[in-house]
Structure 1
Amino acid sequence: MSVPDVRRFWRRCVRPLTLTLPAVLLLAAAAPGPERSVVDRPVVDRPVVDTDRGRVRGLDHGAYRSFEGVPYAAPPTGPLRWRLPQPAPRWEGVRDAAAPGSRCVQLPALGPGVPSGSEDCLYANVTVPAGGADRGAPRRPVMVWFHGGGFVNGAGDLYRPERLAVRGDVVVVTVNYRLGVFGLFGHPELGGAPGFALADQQAALRWVRANAGRFGGDPGNVTVFGESAGALSVCAHLTSPASEGLFHRAIVQSGSCSTTSPPWSLLPTLGTYEPFVPERGTVSDGVLAAARLGCEGPAGVLDCLRRLDVGELATPELMQAFSKVSYGGALLPVEPRRALESGRFHRVPVMQGTTRDEMRLFLGTTLATYPLPDEAAYRARLERSFGASTARAVEADYPVAAYPTPAVAWATLLSDAAFTCPTLRDSRALARHVPTYGYRFSDRQAPNFTGVPEVPGLPFGASHGFELPYLFELAPLPVPQRGLADRMADYWTGFARTGVPRAPEAPPWPRYRTPASVLSLAPGPDGISTVDARTEHHCALWDARWPGVTSSR
């Protein structure tokens, strides 16, 4: 996708969405954290842990303990801007860890405004269940969460993991990482596009390896998990040589290595969306960006850029232009989907899946600009996105008359083409080598607590990000959804413990097979069941007609 297309996508589609998703996709910089869980109790103690860089004093909430704002790397400021993360400096005395550290630099989710956050933002937050941390006690599994936000927004502290930690008896670590132009910039003087965002995450994993035991966790049993951009990050770590040995299981939520979006499917000016791009394009964009900022010449460009104020760099154009993960360099030598296909990934168990109606939320934010009023508009958009021949084949499997509205039909096929079938394709490649488990979050009654109003003719159903409050303390859930949330927490933490997603009093979760054995997750006595997702989502069509990845670089 070209830089102008990237800008249009974020300005007209994703950024409007992020304004009203502070509690779901957690992309807005100034979004307040959700209220604490019902498992909270008044703070009764200030526990102290001795990390490898110094002592930290957290909070004891009764059922769990929290240690927030713990540095896992040195602040990437001044001369360390656009350098790989360095070890955090040691400190004397006891550092207060009662509140999160600064979030990484990001813009308001929508509209004019100044950047918020700080370049001094490489902090981790640790949540530990009460008890069991004494010397000689069994070590708990560790789960490390990478937040979503399109690599331009978000923060680890926005995700409250009390349910996972307490119910699953695991240690949960959430982390910040550099975003936008600060995290994914490329330039010849950098030797390419080093991928500082991913390097930050790797530094956090090294910190976990060094310190998990001090919090009662097992550094030999670390699960990485993430949603959306966080899931894309997990995919990258599965295929990055530099991530070898840093984790032992992986969970990918709504962002597989092959996730992509068909051209002109959401807006008439938006081409194919790809989250992973060749390094050479990012470097070329970096040269152009530096020149526009007045930093050009045979040498000294980075020194010039490092002297610029944060506000000169954290513009919508630059943050959005550098929101893709580059491959072809040392950190990510091969395009991730190609690495999976060829078996070049770390041999760890993988659990991955999607929501049933991924694209409804995104489509809902663009219908006012690009409406789908009738069958003629539906057919025209089919032909524009896929060409006449493929459009006919797609319409045969997704006839508009089979759906309540053309918008529902379009969102359904987009969800299958962009998320579900690419994820199943990746699961098939993974399952040749490692235990693989697939899921589909199917609760179409999931509460819409996003603040985004549903548009007429397009209920959001089980849309992108709607599974998050079932795992994290983001919003109150109705009684039926609470039962599903408990089962999901059990599955997720069971997988972290053993590499198999087992849950007490819940149906068994089969390994991925062909046909695609995927666990469908919904409330009710029979809400959790195994489905043939590949058949239900017409994946033979998409694999044959539109594999989903083309390059415009």
Structure 2
Amino acid sequence: MKWRGLVLTTIGLLGLLAGPANAAPATRVFTDRGPVQGAMTGEVRSFQGIPFAKPPVGALRWRAPQPAARWREPLDATKPREFCAQLPGFGPSESVNEDCLYLNVTTPRRVNRPLPVIVWYHGGGFTSGAATQYDPVKLVTQGNVIVVTVAYRLGPLGYLATPGLTAEAGNQSGNYGFQDQLAGLRWVQRNAAAFGGNPGNVTISGESAGAASVCDVIVSPLAKGLFQKAIGQSFSCVEETTTPQQAYAAGAQLSSTVGCADVACLRGKPVKDLLTAWPGGAPVVGGRELPLQPPDAIRQGKYHRVPLLWGSNLDEMRLFVGLTYDGAGKPVTVAQYEQVTRDTFGPAADKVLARYPVGNYASPSIALATWQTDVPGHLSTCGHINTYNLFKTGAPVYAYQFTDRTAPSIVDWPNFDEGATHAFELNYLWNRLFGQPFTPAQEALSKNMVRYWTTFAHTGNPNGYGVPGWQRYKSEGDVQELGLARIAPKNPALESNCEFWAGLG
């Protein structure tokens, strides 16, 4: 431990020597593996494509991330690396690249004291997305923080589980992407000081699958001491992750599709074949990374009790209804609405149809998306309320609901109002991910949200000068509405009929 402390102190001193506060800001920083050469753009320093592990290729496919090789000459960190292998979707584009374990660091132009570090895990259903999609200039410049965006293996390369892989590792297989995320956090502990960050003030954060990853980090014994706060956007920690049985079934399906009976055969298959054959998956419970299902670990008090900022969007499921129906040119009909409801709820369907009559909504598609947003589940309003209630006795929770139904859209389907659907809050925190420019009112909301998020990263409490008060969550009425007309407490459990859903079982 003394040796490790000496190394970290030396790295921090080298970083300071490269760029003290009273000198020109440094674009060359010394990490624990070697020097990196970044760039200065406006009011930020950026360092892109820093390896935090060896390329997981060849024999390292489906193995835990290994330490990156050392280098002596300054590494060019002025441009991003290629993102992780994925099929076309909401991610950047198609890729068959396995050499993708890189992270990106963005800091203010000048750092006069150790700053909080926000570590970001992107969304994409564990199958798509990229760390390089997210430009943190608003968070960094308005909030005086350092942001690290971490890539992680996706799809079958990140979450394939087979009995053979489990036997090979002596640990439950299927968590390579999650292991990458933990490796990124360990890199931050070793190197934050060199960039002007405080390794003792780290906030993990993510959206959708990234927020699911935050849930997993919160309950992972292997994350002890690696972070002090957590932010989750649009995922409910009361939902279980993949079981070994489910993961092995998916692994067997993939193996059969590509014609493999063992690990050696799978390691020889082209990436595209694996991506095409992948039936889907997520982190797997039962190993060293996740001994317990996240909600069970939280109920048993076996989690890291750190302050939480957590929330969801008013119309989460409109995105997915749009993708399935309206975006495909086949809007939901009245008959389909009733049939889907009956197929979902069986004998209880009459109660749901009475509570959500199709005539009360702008279209059957909107009616379907409304109960899908409300009914307890990964993205639902009531699932998030259950999450806040599960956490509230063990750690401070600050809950929110994003409600701007005019937010810039990822998509724009004819005759369909996307509303404040899944992922639409991202533009308010990151620098123009998609959509049209903000109106003045939206710009004001964005500034308030950035202030909340970064103040929380500094102090563990989003309240600060110049923003509306945000009360700690103690009951369902303590959810902060983040909207154009108001930023104030509300009770989403009432409008989402959470008591009705709880009684329905």
Look up the match of 2:139: 164
- Distance in 2 of aligned mates of 1:61 and 1:131: 12
Structure 2: gaps (5+ residues): 1-23, 167-171
One-letter amino acid matched to 2:420: A
**Does residue 105 of structure 2 align to residue 126 of structure 1?**
yes
**Does residue 133 of structure 2 align to residue 174 of structure 1?**
no
| CA displacement at 1:544 relative to structure 2 | 2.6
The 8 Å contact of residues 234 and 313 in structure 2, kept in 1 or not, is answered as yes
| CA displacement at 1:361 relative to structure 2 | 1.4
SS at match of 1:203: helix
**Does residue 225 of structure 2 align to residue 245 of structure 1?**
yes
Look up the match of 2:176: 196
Deviates more, 1:340-349 or 1:154-163: 340-349
SS at match of 2:400: strand
| CA displacement at 1:334 relative to structure 2 | 1.6
Look up the match of 2:443: 482
Look up the match of 2:413: 454
Deviates more, 1:197-206 or 1:187-196: 187-196
- Distance in 1 of aligned mates of 2:303 and 2:353: 36
Residue of 82, 85, 106 corresponding to 2:62: 82
SS at match of 2:187: helix
SS at match of 1:276: coil
| CA displacement at 1:332 relative to structure 2 | 1.2
| CA displacement at 1:288 relative to structure 2 | 4.2
- Distance in 1 of aligned mates of 2:357 and 2:66: 55
| CA displacement at 1:349 relative to structure 2 | 0.8
Look up the match of 2:338: 379
Look up the match of 1:264: none
Look up the match of 1:331: 289
| CA displacement at 1:45 relative to structure 2 | 8.0
The 8 Å contact of residues 96 and 272 in structure 2, kept in 1 or not, is answered as no
- Distance in 1 of aligned mates of 2:134 and 2:418: 22
Fraction of identical pairs, as percent: 42
Deviates more, 1:411-420 or 1:338-347: 338-347
Look up the match of 1:147: 122
- Distance in 1 of aligned mates of 2:251 and 2:336: 39
| CA displacement at 1:117 relative to structure 2 | 4.5
Look up the match of 1:520: 481
Structure 1: gaps (5+ residues): 1-43, 260-274, 547-553
- Distance in 1 of aligned mates of 2:476 and 2:238: 19
Residue of 441, 450, 455 corresponding to 2:402: 441
Per-residue CA deviation, residues 314-350 of structure 1 (Å, 9 max, x unaligned), is: 32x32xx243222122211222122223332211111
- Distance in 2 of aligned mates of 1:400 and 1:178: 42
SS at match of 2:242: strand
Please give the residue correspondences for 1:251-270 in structure 2 after superposition, counting only pairs within 5 Å.
251-258=231-238
Per-residue CA deviation, residues 1-51 of structure 1 (Å, 9 max, x unaligned), is: xxxxxxxxxxxxxxxxxxxxxxxxxxxxxxxxxxxxxxxxxxx98710000
Q: Does 1 or 2 have the higher relative contact order (CA < 8 Å, sep 6+)?
A: 1
One-letter amino acid matched to 2:382: C
| CA displacement at 1:291 relative to structure 2 | 4.1
The 8 Å contact of residues 115 and 311 in structure 1, kept in 2 or not, is answered as no
One-letter amino acid matched to 1:341: R
**Does residue 53 of structure 2 align to residue 109 of structure 1?**
no
One-letter amino acid matched to 1:156: A
One-letter amino acid matched to 1:460: E
Look up the match of 2:79: 99
- Distance in 1 of aligned mates of 2:461 and 2:102: 30
The 8 Å contact of residues 517 and 533 in structure 1, kept in 2 or not, is answered as no
The 8 Å contact of residues 229 and 308 in structure 2, kept in 1 or not, is answered as yes
SS at match of 1:326: coil
- Distance in 1 of aligned mates of 2:118 and 2:252: 38
Please give the residue correspondences for 1:150-549 in structure 2 after superposition, counting only pairs within 5 Å.
150-191=125-166, 192-258=172-238, 276-296=241-261, 301-315=262-276, 317-318=277-278, 321-368=279-326, 371-374=331-334, 376-388=335-347, 390-417=348-375, 418=377, 419-448=380-409, 450=410, 452-456=411-415, 458-473=416-431, 474-475=433-434, 476-524=437-485, 527-546=486-505
CA 405–124 in structure 1, closer or farther in 2 if over 3 Å, else same: same
- Distance in 1 of aligned mates of 2:448 and 2:109: 21
The 8 Å contact of residues 45 and 59 in structure 1, kept in 2 or not, is answered as no
Per-residue CA deviation, residues 147-172 of structure 1 (Å, 9 max, x unaligned), is: 01111111101000000011000000
TM superposition outliers: structure 1 runs of 4+ over 4 Å: 368-371
- Distance in 2 of aligned mates of 1:247 and 1:151: 22
TM-score, normalised with respect to structure 2 = 0.88
The 8 Å contact of residues 174 and 283 in structure 2, kept in 1 or not, is answered as no
- Distance in 2 of aligned mates of 1:308 and 1:385: 38
Aligned residue pairs total 467
Per-residue CA deviation, residues 213-260 of structure 1 (Å, 9 max, x unaligned), is: 10000000100111111111111111111122211111110112235x
CA 364–294 in structure 1, closer or farther in 2 if over 3 Å, else same: closer
Per-residue CA deviation, residues 168-203 of structure 1 (Å, 9 max, x unaligned), is: 000000011000000000011221324001100000
TM-score, normalised with respect to structure 1 = 0.81
CA 536–463 in structure 1, closer or farther in 2 if over 3 Å, else same: same
| CA displacement at 1:61 relative to structure 2 | 1.4
- Distance in 1 of aligned mates of 2:303 and 2:350: 37
